[in-house]
Amino acid sequence: MRALSRLLRLRNTSSTSRPSRCRHIRQYSSAVATARLNNSVDYSTTPLLNHTSQQCLSNPELPEHIRKSKTKRINLFQSVNEAMREALMTDERVLVFGEDVQFGGVFRCSLNLAEDFGTERVFNTPLSEQGLVGFAIGAASEGMRPIAEIQFADYVYPAFDQLINECSKVRYRAGSTGMHCGGVVVRMPTGGVGHGALYHSQSPESLFTHVPGLRVVIPRSPVQAKGLLLAAVACNDPVIFMEPKILYRAAVEQVPVDGYTLPLDKAEILKSGSDLTIISYGTPLYTCNAAIEAAEKDLGCSVELIDLRTIYPWDRETVLKSVKKTGRAIVVHESMTNAGVGAEVAATIQEGAFLSLEAPVKRVAGWACHTGLIFEKFIIPDVTRVYDAIKKTLDY
Amino acid sequence: MSLRYGARSIRPRRNLYAPACFNPSQAPSIARSWQRWSSVAESPASERVLFPGALKSKFTNDLAFIRPAELEAIPTYRVMNQDGVVIDETRDLGTTDEEALTLYRKMICLSVMDLIMFEAQRQGRLSFYMVSTGEEGITIGSSSALDPSDVVFAQYREAGVLMERGFTLDQFMNQFFSNCKDFGKGRNMPVHFGSRELNVHTISSTLATQIPHSSGAAYALKMQAKLNPDLPGRIACCYFGEGAASEGDFHGALNIAATRACPVIFLCRNNGFAISTPTSDQYRGDGVASRGAGYGIDTIRVDGNDIFAVRQAIKEARREALADGGKPILVEAMAYRIGHHSTSDDSFAYRQKVEVEDWKRRDNPITRLRKWLEGRGLWDEAKEKELRSKVRKEILVAFDKAEKEKKPALKHAFSDVWENFTEEQKSQMEELRSVLERYPEEYDIEQYEGGLDSLKEDLKQ
């Protein structure tokens, strides 16, 4: 089961970094020759990534001293690695563990950490998700800052009881004793990867956004991953940190070399617009961006794109302000529509921006089915579906 | 160790990052853990093949299954018999007369509190209760053998641990009545205690979830002792019943505690029943103790009605848990659940009253220690009567005081979910306040500390 991951990585690389080959060799995530909208995302030119050091350092969310510092070009797994390295270096309470973490992790996120910080701080656990998450809660309850890894978000369910009945409730039930397990960060690769089928492509974030006491974070890029992961480690609330695994190698950008944090309660407006707001997070942001580029060209509209970043508690203010301005909204995510994050966002918009709405809030999300291997590209929202949603919402 | 990647050569250690918290003494162990087995078979004539999964296994020509039913059951360690007579007088009891008297008084106090609170629940004065009858020896005995700095994770039938550690009668009553002085701010059901001061983590109703917590906490204590060698060694002690040991968390916890060498005592209270389920429906092996060996964990079974045996076993287990850098120990303490499972249970629906009466009369931890004390001339009927009446009065005073206290402030329904109130919570508190203001006759707000004001005030936790 876990051995699959190496396979996933290899395929992921070939289909994303060399899109030109797709026409000659049949790839799982290749584009159709006639496609105008559904082309592979070109991560080397997307405006969602910082291709120059200057772009990266102009980010006003970065602390002043970071904005004057150096950057380097790394991908998402390397930025997760950098964040954990920084956390291990600056805080002796930090532990990093999970299944196959010691040799570097099946996605290379913990590469070289065991060698540099010792196997007492970076180590393998037995193959038991409930065991290792329970272990993390106990260690945090006694003052450590554990970063636990679930190898795939699809395998988090054995630890569900520990996360929902324990992790999220420790502070509340402890009351004035002040005991808590803040400091727990549970990392997990999430989302579709083109050929992950039923158990290597799930996006279970909405199962956690229904739980008070947890924070759910999904970064879209290396810069975000590093800053948000370091903020998660520093945060005194337990954090579920979901890393879009298709971006591990695909998303490459300039990232500050030093450690920095990004806010855990703020959405980010990636592109401003005046006719429609698209709210999304993680991988679909790239899909949305491609759809917006095509729609703006074809339809002459102006679309605002918002990255939620923190899925719960989430930044309602930024979203409502945007929808009040544009009057139209679409929510996009990979997991299925019913009771997904989109349901919460759409309901909140309906409550908070009712008088501004000029069209129903549209949800573009996974269908009510499992991710059958050969059907993935029909199930996970693609550029065409987002493009069509923009068109329909504007035409309403 | 991951064998799949075992062939990886050892990378020369990089010294680019040499932070203060990097421990150079670990370098050899890292190298060792990544080395590949030198070969699969040592020689053609070897009696063993070095299968990585079982290095010490020899070949055999006998086709023989291991049959647990044919193995001798793990013996139960005891120090004194049912009549309170110490079996081997030459060995040190490990408990002085004064300590024995203190333990006895605490057991009596717990059993009197159980009687009163059980009755109070029957009168509808509190919502729920669980007695410890028959298991006072395990909780009070084991707790007295731990260091007060050791960290405790409990299931729910361990009020004796808190009592032994110094949880006061007032603190017990505040918890039972969910009043404004309850550490849990009135959020938990009765008997779900916790105390930072006493190093007892708050009890949750979910069974066995605390077992992997204790492994993780023990690992934290071990790491902290490494970082600061001046600190005395501490262990974690985790309590659970034999029913909870069927949960997956038991398995996950013992396995990770063994592989990470965590200084933790897993203390199973095997009292014969999980609500109505007898042990014959719970497991078919030799109790819980027989599982320890499978995890590579040193294990002992002890007579839970013999407080001296419990104390000796836990003292030794604690010493061993801290030796050689730390390791887990499994202790199975045998008992009989004399009381009902809880106030929501009538145990005579699934077991004979006569059986319970028999255990009550024949053997329980309190009468056994009393017999020993009387045998030493340290106790008599007059002292017993005096103690019981004194304890009863103290409990009733605390009971009345706690019952009269106000309930915790309404804002505590929302506080402590996260470290700080979220924007969403603030708007919901405002919404609740508005409803309470407009429908005052529908709610009893005055019994909550601060009334409506707690939802109005500056929302700092």
pLDDT digits (tens, 9 = 90+) for A229-255: 999 999 999 999 999 999 999 999 999
Whether residue A6 is predicted with pLDDT greater than 70 in this model: the reply is no
ipTM of model: 0.92
Using pLDDT thresholds of 50, 70 and 90, give the confidence band for residue B56. confident
Domain ranges in chain B with CATH number 3.40.50.970: 97-404
State percent of chain A over pLDDT 70.
Answer: 92
Averaged over B37-44, what is the pLDDT? Answer: 49
Residue range A177-202: mean pLDDT, rounded: 97
Q: Which band of pLDDT confidence, cut at 50, 70 and 90, is reported for residue B44?
A: low
Buried b (16+ CB within 10 A) or exposed e, B183-213: bbbbbbbbbbbbbeebbbbbbbebbbbbbbb
Contacts of residue A10, defined as CB under 8 A and 6 or more positions apart, other chains included, come to none
Residue in the block written with tokens 């693609």: A382
Q: Which of B182, B192, B418 sits opposite A213 (nearest CB)?
A: B418
Considering A86, A99, A195, A200, which one is annotated as catalytic?
A200
Amino acid making up residue A224: Q
Which among B184, B206, B418 has the least Cβ separation from residue A166? B206
In this prediction, residue A33 carries a pLDDT of: 87
User: Is B342 considered catalytic here?
Assistant: yes
Q: What is the pLDDT of residue B10?
A: 41
B216 Cα to chain A: minimum distance (Å): 4
| Average pLDDT for chain B | 90
Answer yes or no: is pLDDT of A16 > 50. Answer: no
Q: Is the pLDDT of residue A366 over 90?
A: yes
Active site residue A210: no
User: How buried is A359 (Cβ within 10 angstroms: 0-12 exposed, 13-18 middle, 19+ buried)?
Assistant: middle
Contacts of B2 in chain A (CB under 8 A): 100, 102-103, 124
Work out the average pLDDT over B121-136. Answer: 94
Give CATH for domain A53-256.
3.40.50.970
Give pLDDT, residue B424.
95
A24 CB contacts (<8 Å, ≥6 apart)?
Answer: none
Q: What is the mean pLDDT of residues B403-421?
A: 97
Judged by CB atoms closer than 8 Å, whether chains meet at B204 and A146 is answered as no
Residues of chain A with CATH 3.40.50.920: 268-395
The predicted structure's pLDDT at residue B36: 43
Q: Which of A7, A177, A319 to mutate to test the interface with B (most CBs of B within 10 A)?
A: A177
Which has the higher per-residue pLDDT, B31 or B459? Answer: B459
A235/A93 Cα distance (integer angstroms) = 13
CATH topology of domain B97-404: Rossmann fold (3.40.50)
Q: Is B195 in the A-facing interface, judged by CB distances under 8 Å?
A: yes
Residue of B nearest to A163 (CA): B209
Give the pLDDT confidence of A269-287 residue by residue, as tens digits.
Answer: 999 999 999 999 999 999 9
Amino acid at B384: E
CATH 3.40.50.970 domain position(s) in chain A: 53-256
pLDDT of res. A19: 45
The closest alpha carbon to A41, from A17, A66, A13, A73, belongs to A17
Which chain B residue shows the shortest CA-CA distance from A168? B417
At B45, the pLDDT band (50, 70, 90 cuts) reads low
Is there a contact between A268 and A23 (Cβ–Cβ < 8 Å)?
Answer: no
Q: Which of residues 12-41 of B touch A (CB under 8 A)?
A: 13-14, 17, 19-23, 26, 29-30, 33-34
CB atoms within 10 A of CB A72: 14
What count of CB pairs under 8 Å joins A to B? 220
Asked if pLDDT for residue B456 goes beyond 90, the answer is no
pTM of the entire structure? 0.92
- The shortest C-alpha distance from A150 to chain B (Å) reads 14
Predicted confidence band at B457 (pLDDT cuts at 50, 70, 90)? low
Q: Is the pLDDT of residue B66 over 80?
A: yes
Interface test with B, best of A102, A141, A149 (most B CBs within 10 A): A141
Would you say the C-alpha torsion B371, B375, B379, B380 has a positive or negative sign? positive
Q: How does residue A394 score in pLDDT terms, banded at 50, 70 and 90?
A: very high
Q: Is the distance from CB of A370 to CB of A335 less than 8 angstroms?
A: no
A200 flagged as catalytic: yes
pLDDT greater than 60 at residue B385: yes
Residue B461 has pLDDT above 70, yes or no: no
B158 pLDDT more than 60: yes
In this complex, which of A103, A139, A235 lies closest to B217 when CB atoms are compared?
A139
- pLDDT bracket for residue A155 (50, 70, 90): very high
Instruction: Give chain A's mean pLDDT.
Output: 93
| Residues 6 or more apart whose Cβ sits within 8 Å of residue B263 | B218, B221, B222, B233, B234, B235, B236, B321, B322, B326, B327, B328
**What is the domain class of A268-395 according to CATH?**
alpha beta
Give the strands of the sheet with A215-217, arranged side by side. A122-124, A94-98, A145-149, A185-190, A239-244, A215-217, A310-312
pLDDT over 70 at A169, yes or no: yes
The chain B residue lying nearest A182, using CA atoms, is B419
